[in-house]
């Protein structure tokens, strides 16, 4: 949902105070570094304590809040995967960091007005450190194609991107019905046949006694994280967690200098629907604890969401896209912790050779045993 709000243009091009060259943020620090003269330009705002403020969700949707700041961003959209990323200065042709497809900038890209991110986690590990973790991960893959191993020879294939997320807070009240299962021990008789004779025996078995259950549970959710992008598989972005949200800082263009950023593709309202699925797991766990017993069945749940708030944040990811056999594989590295997740190709030749190797080994063992047994007769 797009609202009328103050629009602020964003520029990541910041001049060095010594030589006037373009500055880039140095991961893990509170300054920008000039690649030409080596001068370090302090980000004074980074040292200030961050007071996190949430936005009222219902007010935002119903009252067209003018308090939500917006910004104008210039982006280029990939014709293959649809990802919209920020433009590099003075670059008219590049490759998409999400799928490695060629991208040609026509007419300077597209300008769009979006809700301005309120907070972010700056990059903590630089490209070289991320590349070391990436190399370790690739080299640990079993049955990987040989050319995948060669691919890790170039650290420049890693792109630093700030990925859009929403976070949601909510207090929930959930009424439920279900069943409680309590284990109990009983003795039962059974028949066995031994040497043609039938014998009656007894044994103890554990059974479950089910009883009706209902009740109300309360949950208080804080910073439920929802990926606001369709460009990356959530299976892997979720595996990059946890993020050190306690170190979040106010959004500042200077942290983006030298990096790309993606615009959100999932709006605030749709993002909240996704957050409900995450909250549901916590609610169901709480219900099971409330039912008690040894087993639980949940028949129905009705949840009311109160005091809903949200914020728009950016999180740092080192990303690389690799094409193998006409298929795109993406590798993601948490820009704070170095955690690596991603898709990977398999080498059919290596798998076949491994299968034949196992079969050959099994045959050799079999004949070895046979020969050993034959020698002992």
Q: Return phi, psi of residue 81, to 5°.
A: -105, -10
On the question of pLDDT at 347 being above 80, the answer is no
Rounded Cα gap, residues 255 and 117, in angstroms:
12
Sign of CA dihedral 111, 112, 117, 121: negative
Rounded Cα gap, residues 283 and 280, in angstroms:
5
On the question of pLDDT at 113 being above 50, the answer is yes
**3-class secondary structure for the chain?**
CCCCCCEEECCCCCECCCCCCEEEECCCCCEEEECCCCCEEECHHHHCCCCCCCEEHHHHHHCCCCCCCEEEEEEEECCCCCCEEECCCCCCEEECCCCCCEEECCCCCEEEEEECCCEECCCCCCHHHHHHHHHHHHHCCCCCCHHHHHHCCCHHHCEEEEEEEEEEEEEEEEEEEEEEEEEEEEEEEEEEEECCEEEEEEEEEEEEEEEEEEEEEEEEEEEEEEECCCCCCHHHHHHCCCCCHHHCEECCHHHHCCCEEECCCCCHHHHHHHHHHHHHHHHHHHHHHHHCCCEEEEEEEEEEEEEEEEEEEEEEEEEEEEEECCEEEEEEEECCCCCEEECCCCCHHHHHHHHHHHHHHHHHHHHHHHHHHHHCC
Mean pLDDT for all residues in the chain: 80
Over residues 128-134, the mean pLDDT reads 86
Q: What is the pLDDT of residue 144?
A: 62
Q: Return phi, psi of residue 77, to 5°.
A: -100, 130
Q: Give the residue with greater pLDDT, 195 vs 82.
A: 195
Size (the chain), residues? 377
Contact 176, 189 (CB under 8 A): no
Considering the entire predicted model, what is its pTM? 0.77
Closest C-alpha among 95, 96, 94, 338 to residue 231: 96
pLDDT digits (tens, 9 = 90+) for 140-161: 766 566 666 666 565 567 889 9
Q: Give the residue with greater pLDDT, 300 vs 371.
A: 300
Percentage above 90 pLDDT, the chain: 36
How would residue 182 be classed by pLDDT, with cut points 50, 70 and 90?
Answer: very high
Over residues 12-36, the mean pLDDT reads 74
CB burial readout 167-196, b (16+ within 10 A) else e? bbbbebebebebbbbeeeeeeeeeeeeeee
Q: What is the pLDDT of residue 134?
A: 81
Over residues 181-201, the mean pLDDT reads 90
Lowest mean pLDDT among 93-97, 323-327, 368-372: 93-97
On the question of pLDDT at 51 being above 50, the answer is yes
Lowest mean pLDDT among 23-37, 62-76, 187-201: 62-76
Rounded Cα gap, residues 30 and 235, in angstroms:
32
Contact 257, 32 (CB under 8 A): yes
Over residues 23-43, the mean pLDDT reads 80
Closest C-alpha among 110, 85, 112 to residue 100: 85
pLDDT digits (tens, 9 = 90+) for 258-299: 888 888 889 999 999 999 999 999 999 999 999 999 999 999
Q: What is the pLDDT of residue 196?
A: 83
Contact 213, 179 (CB under 8 A): yes
Q: Give the residue with greater pLDDT, 136 vs 204.
A: 204
């Amino acid at each position: 949902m797009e609202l009328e709000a103050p629009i602020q243009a964003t520029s990541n091009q910041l001049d060095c105070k010594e030589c006037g060259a373009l500055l880039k943020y140095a991961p893990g620090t509170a300054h920008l570094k000039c690649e030409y003269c080596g001068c370090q330009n302090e980000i004074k705002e980074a040292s200030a304590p961050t007071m996190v403020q949430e936005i009222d969700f219902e007010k935002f949707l119903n009252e067209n809040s003018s308090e939500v700041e917006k910004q104008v961003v210039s982006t280029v959209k990939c014709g293959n995967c649809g990802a919209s990323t920020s433009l590099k200065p003075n670059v008219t042709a590049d490759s998409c960091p999400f799928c490695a497809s060629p991208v040609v900038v026509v007419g300077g890209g597209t300008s769009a007005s979006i809700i301005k991110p309120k907070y972010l986690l700056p990059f903590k590990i630089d490209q070289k450190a991320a590349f070391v973790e990436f190399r370790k991960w690739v080299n640990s893959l079993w049955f990987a194609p040989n050319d995948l191993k060669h691919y890790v020879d170039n650290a420049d294939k890693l792109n630093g991107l700030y990925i859009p997320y929403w976070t949601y807070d909510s207090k929930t009240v959930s009424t439920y019905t279900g069943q409680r299962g309590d284990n109990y021990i009983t003795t039962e008789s059974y028949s066995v046949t031994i040497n043609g004779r039938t014998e009656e025996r007894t044994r103890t078995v554990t059974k479950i006694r089910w009883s009706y259950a209902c009740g109300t549970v309360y949950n208080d959710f804080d910073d439920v994280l929802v990926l606001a992008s369709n460009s990356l598989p959530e299976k892997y972005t979720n595996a990059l967690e946890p993020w050190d949200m306690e170190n979040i800082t106010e959004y500042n263009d200077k942290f983006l200098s030298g990096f790309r950023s993606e615009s959100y593709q999932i709006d605030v309202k749709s993002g909240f629907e996704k957050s409900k699925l995450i909250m549901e797991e916590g609610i169901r766990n709480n219900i099971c604890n409330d039912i008690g017993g040894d087993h639980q069945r949940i028949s129905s749940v009705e949840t009311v969401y109160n005091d809903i708030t949200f914020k728009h944040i950016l999180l740092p990811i080192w990303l690389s896209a690799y094409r193998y056999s006409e298929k795109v594989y993406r590798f993601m590295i948490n820009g704070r912790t170095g955690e690596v997740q991603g898709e990977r190709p398999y080498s059919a030749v290596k798998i076949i050779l491994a299968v034949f190797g196992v079969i050959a080994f099994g045959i050799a063992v079999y004949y070895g045993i046979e020969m050993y047994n034959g020698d002992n007769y």
